[in-house]
Amino acid sequence: VTSDLANGSLDFNGDDVVTLAKSSTNIDVIGTIGSTANFAENVTWVRKSTVTSPVTTYNSAEWDSYAEDDVSDLGSHTMACGPSVPSLTTTAISSITTTTASSGGNVTNDGSSTVTSRGVCWSTSSSPTTADSKTVDGSGTGSFVSSITGLSANTTYYVRAYAINTTGTGYGDEKVFTTSCTSATIPYSEGFENGGSIPNCWSVETVTDSDSDAEITFEMSTSNPTGGSPDEGSYLVRFNSYSNDVGDELRLISQTLNTTGNSNLEVHFAMFEDNGYSSNNETVTLQWSTDGSIWNTVDTYNRYNASGNDWSDKVSYLPIGAENQSTLYVGFLFYSDWGNDIYIDDVVIIEGNDSDSEASAPTGGQQAGGTISSLDDTDAEAVNVFKFDIDDQGSGDGTATKVTNIRILPGANNTADWTDHIQGVKLNGGAITIGSPTITDTYIDIPITSGNLDVSDGASSTITMSVYLNTSNIIDAATLSFMIDASAHGWTADVAGSTFASTFTADVVSNDFVIDVSATQLVYVTQPSNTIVSQTMSPDPTVKACDANGNTDTGYSSLISVSSDGSLTGDPVSGTWSAGVATFANLVHSATGTTLTLTATSGALNVASNNYDITDVPSIFISEISPKGYNGGFNDEFIELTNNGSSSIDLTNYTLEYWEDQTPYTLEENMNLTGTIAANSAYVIAARSTNNLSEDFLASFTMSGNCYVILKENGIVIDEAGSSSDDFLDNTNYEFTNCGGDNKPTANWDDLSGIGGTPGVVNCACTPPTTAPSGIGFSSVTGTSMTVSWTPGDGDYSLVLVHQEAAVDAEPSSGSTYTANATYGSGSELGTGNFVAYNNTGSSFTLSGLSDGYTYYFAIYTYNSTDDCYNMTELTGNQTTICSTPGNVTGASATIGNTELTIGWTNPICYDEIVIIAKEAGSPSSTLSGDGSSYVANAAFATTGTDAFLNADDYCVYKGTGTSVNVTGLTNGTNYCFHIHTRVGTNWTTTPIEVCATPTLNVPTTLYPGDFIIVGFDTNIGGGGDDIISIASFVPIGTGTTFILANVLYEYEDAAYVSTGRWYRCSSDASKDISGHPQYLEV
């Protein structure tokens, strides 16, 4: 291009204005001075040939556009000779209404020919001409004003000014505008069903969006979270808070609304709530405006709802300022906190009825509190727990309140978990039909179909709610308490009638109801387990006291014990209660037994357990552990078991557990063993198949860390070698040779220093005697001693075990040594209660230290003393000592009652008869003698009969062989002492057992409705006589109990009446006047 003038500073980028000036005066211009509009980017502009004079006001109609970088006309210009069409501009559109607008133009050049007509033309398509709609607004050059009429509402129009001369018609630049929307009236609805576009006459306003990434779109489903469908129809509104910035705000604005003549305006819409991003605060704020610029906030709703993903119906009530407006806008201000997207749908604006109905405290008083039985678990057994009034304020709408939902919250004293405790609710005993209640731990929603609970205009209705309980998971003494939260009540009503105020005047609170679980049965929680004889049962059996549904009575504490049909030591064994569960600890059986049962008994309640077995002490034990491998060979790792008994053992029900230190310890291998171990034989478990061992069982594991081993039979631990805190090292081998000792501590094992071992070889085998002892006999039997004799076996030593009151249930182990003592209980103890009384070469000895009347059981073994090797066939027998000296009773106690005491005890082994002497206000002093025939008992205290044989004021209240007596005829508040004497023949215990107690009337501390009834009045008000009210009581009453009759206090006239029966006379306070007051009794 050949230029006439070069200027390197010119950088035209499409939004710059270029002027031609002379002496600083503009002559011609392209572009609008002061505007930043991008009007000439990537295009070539050429002045039309009809333009023959400059203009100082830019008119795009004077220019033709060509492709970018088209320089074909550069350096030359074609201009029409003679007159041309006029040049003019179009005035901006103003005063836009639904059907009219204002515009005009300015004819800047008549084209050297007089302008004969001018005006504006318009069309719904671009580039309108005078063939379309137009105005005629004079002639000549200069400015003119045009009124555009006959338009349609909410329609986009294109407008150009025109001017006509003899050459033709010139047009100004094109203007575009949209007519206003017609104001919508109430009721109004918008479902956003516009094919994915914003509804007509609605708009979106950006409030805050720094990087233009916030948007409102109209979608067919939710995307964050996914899968939600529109509330109704096919489309919903989405605000992309998931992908825009924290703090971004967009406002979705309704079309213009006309609320002239409308009141009580309600805005209803659906909002999608979800449980994602709980800490993010995405909200929709409902607003209103009369000019579209100043916005007033009504309510703000949060997207997050912990209950899950679903639509929630929202309603907001517009204030009076929004009523009677010719122009009103409703706005939805979306706020992003960068969590899930926000979705709304289905906006409805209606003229509502009164919105001032509410719930209040019942006019007749709240439902009295009390207890609820855990067995109130059916609809028919529902218990009334809460009363409240529903009030329609009658403010002028003339319609009823048609309740559709009632929400109840836990009261302040509530401790019960509602989902565990409450099965169902009813209103007015079921007279009000309700939907399926939603029962959660934080609220109960009771849905009601509109019309099933209507409160007439200006009326009030009292509602009683009742509940019935679940059958399980009930917690004894849990408290149920209910309330209606005035500030967040959650109540709804049909908009066809009066609706509820946003807040109520005050909370409504129920009284407390305590759930009562009363035990009617015992149930095993932990069943007894198979156990080895003389070992403690584990885990401890437990029994709970519960109702018919199995709910635990946590306050139950009556004495409980268990008895076995086997050899339970100390049978019966007492249990210990904790929160309604009794534990029976340290249960030991002294003899084997199969299909045994353990029966728990507490008063009239009892329960039998599942069957269990008590098995012999096993002779099998873990004898070698080789983490290093036999002779150090990695593939020759093994574990060995030894049977040190006299018979073979079937391993079908045996398992071997290998535990290895993997930080923490881990069960690396659990082996179900097979085959048998013969008597005095070993059994080898090889760790892997590539070994040089002669294994009995092939496993598949690696002994690569410190370890310990457990042997079980039917799941019961019978041997342990090592433990997690005392383990075997992984770089050495171990052998156990002390076959009668404890192989759990690793210190009792031989450390083979990483090599060696004797897999399959019994390390403690011995040769036992072949002939067992025989011919046991007893002589010189007294109450404290006896002589025992027998024929020895062919071993050089005999060992005698003795057990009191039960058969010997343990046996000696070969390789072990024991200390004998002929005083019972002083020698070595094997198992529990089995004592070594003799260990020598003889055939008889005298056993002393025995107790009168007890039976002693014996087991005699023969063994070779050189290696302590036993013949395990024992000689058994038993003998009872002579009963000559009576023993005292044990466990004596007194149970207190009303004018009575129950004395209980446990009888001794040695006795013929029990005699009990009682005395009031002191200890009995009588000494008993003879054979007891002189004493005659009467459980009614102070009844004469045997007084001549006793000291003054001593009375015989019991004589027999039982274990309890109920002594009656006593005086409450007086102390009584009882001496319990035991007799054998004419021998009596030297010092009797004494029990003292005081009978007491058990007066309840809590009184309930129904405990009293007024049965008579004798009123003499103002007459000077006594005013007497007769009250019948169905429970005992303590001195000082106060009755309230209206505003008058009544107390006992005389404390002596407490013991005279269940009728009481009370006298009035003379300073009070009861005339005119309600005659009701309140306790």
pLDDT value of residue 1053: 38
Round to whole Å and give the CA distance between 805 and 710. Answer: 34
pLDDT value of residue 710: 95
Sheet containing 358-360, strands listed edge to edge, beginning at the edge strand earlier in sequence? 358-360, 383-391, 460-469, 422-427
Round to whole Å and give the CA distance between 495 and 472. Answer: 40
pLDDT at 1070 over 50: no
User: SS3 for 60?
Assistant: helix
Q: In the structure, what pLDDT confidence band is assigned to residue 801 with cuts at 50, 70 and 90?
A: very high
Q: How many CB atoms lie within 10 A of CB 566?
A: 20
- Give me 840's structure tokens: 């020598």
Structure confidence by residue, pLDDT tens digits, 701-756: 888 889 999 999 888 888 899 999 999 998 889 998 876 567 888 988 988 876 77
Alpha carbon 1048 to its chain centroid, in Å, reads 49
pLDDT at 1002 over 80: no
- Written as one letter, the residue type at 87 is S
Mean pLDDT of 115-123: 97
pLDDT value of residue 561: 96
Nearest to 153 by CA among 243, 256, 54, 296: 256
Strand pairing report for 370-373 and 513-516: parallel
pLDDT value of residue 1073: 34
CA angle 42, 46, 50 (to 5 degrees): 150
Round to whole Å and give the CA distance between 439 and 915. Answer: 63
Q: In the structure, what pLDDT confidence band is assigned to residue 798 with cuts at 50, 70 and 90?
A: very high
Q: Residue 419 belongs to what H/E stretch? A: helix 418-421
pLDDT value of residue 344: 96
pLDDT value of residue 1037: 65
**Beta carbons of 430 and 522 less than 8 angstroms apart:** no
pLDDT value of residue 1038: 59
Q: What number of residues does the chain have?
A: 1083
Task: Please provide residue 681's backbone torsions phi and psi, each rounded to the nearest 5 degrees.
Answer: -130, 165
The reported pTM is 0.45
**Beta carbons of 429 and 466 less than 8 angstroms apart:** yes
Mean pLDDT of 1070-1075: 35
pLDDT at 908 over 90: yes
DSSP for residue 834: E
pLDDT value of residue 1058: 39
**Beta carbons of 499 and 401 less than 8 angstroms apart:** yes
Mean pLDDT of 279-302: 94
pLDDT value of residue 8: 63
pLDDT value of residue 1019: 59
**Beta carbons of 678 and 492 less than 8 angstroms apart:** no
Mean pLDDT of 291-306: 94
pLDDT value of residue 1064: 35
pLDDT at 250 over 90: yes
pLDDT value of residue 740: 57
Alpha carbon 603 to its chain centroid, in Å, reads 35
CA angle 975, 977, 979 (to 5 degrees): 175
Mean pLDDT of 521-542: 89
Round to whole Å and give the CA distance between 279 and 297. Answer: 24
pLDDT value of residue 948: 65
Lowest-confidence pick of 90-99, 312-321, 1036-1045? 1036-1045
- pLDDT greater at residue 140 or residue 812: 140
Structure confidence by residue, pLDDT tens digits, 488-522: 999 999 888 888 998 999 999 999 999 999 999 99
Mean pLDDT of 248-274: 93
pLDDT at 878 over 60: yes
Mean pLDDT of the chain: 88
Nearest to 282 by CA among 196, 329, 221, 224: 224
Sheet containing 900-906, strands listed edge to edge, beginning at the edge strand earlier in sequence? 890-896, 900-906, 964-968
Round to whole Å and give the CA distance between 1039 and 1053. Answer: 10
Round to whole Å and give the CA distance between 1083 and 1074. Answer: 17
**Beta carbons of 35 and 14 less than 8 angstroms apart:** no
Furthest CA-CA distance within the chain: 166
Per DSSP, what are the bridge partners of residue 426? 466
pLDDT value of residue 215: 94
Q: What percent of the chain has pLDDT over 70?
A: 92
Task: Please provide residue 683's backbone torsions phi and psi, each rounded to the nearest 5 degrees.
Answer: -135, 125
pLDDT value of residue 765: 65
**Beta carbons of 683 and 698 less than 8 angstroms apart:** no
Give the gyration radius of the chain's Cα atoms.
52
pLDDT value of residue 546: 97
Structure confidence by residue, pLDDT tens digits, 840-849: 999 999 999 9
pLDDT at 868 over 90: no
pLDDT value of residue 17: 87
In the chain, what are the domains? 18-178 (2.60.40.10), 184-351 (2.60.120.200), 358-516 (2.60.40), 521-615 (2.60.40.10), 620-751 (2.60.40.1260), 774-880 (2.60.40.10), 890-997 (2.60.40.10), 1012-1082 (no CATH)
pLDDT value of residue 1076: 34
pLDDT value of residue 1042: 60
Sheet containing 654-661, strands listed edge to edge, beginning at the edge strand earlier in sequence? 665-672, 654-661, 707-713, 716-721
pLDDT value of residue 1051: 39
Q: In the structure, what pLDDT confidence band is assigned to residue 399 with cuts at 50, 70 and 90?
A: confident
Q: How many CB atoms lie within 10 A of CB 663?
A: 6
Where is mean pLDDT largest: 310-314, 336-340, 595-599?
A: 595-599
pLDDT at 1078 over 50: no
- Written as one letter, the residue type at 934 is S
Mean pLDDT of 319-335: 95
The CA-to-CA distance between both ends of the chain, in Å, stands at 115
pLDDT at 168 over 90: yes
Mean pLDDT of 531-546: 88
Structure confidence by residue, pLDDT tens digits, 766-792: 778 989 999 999 999 999 999 999 999
Task: Please provide residue 853's backbone torsions phi and psi, each rounded to the nearest 5 degrees.
Answer: 75, 5
Round to whole Å and give the CA distance between 552 and 562. Answer: 19
Where is mean pLDDT largest: 611-620, 926-935, 947-956?
A: 926-935
**Beta carbons of 546 and 519 less than 8 angstroms apart:** yes
- Give me 1002's structure tokens: 């058990």
Q: What DSSP string describes 525-560? A: EE----EETTSBPSSPPEEEEE-TT--B-TT-----
Structure confidence by residue, pLDDT tens digits, 636-650: 999 999 987 767 889
Task: Tell the burial category of 143 from Cβ atoms under 10 Å away from its Cβ (0-12, 13-18, 19+).
Answer: middle
pLDDT value of residue 1066: 37
pLDDT value of residue 292: 92
Round to whole Å and give the CA distance between 960 and 913. Answer: 5
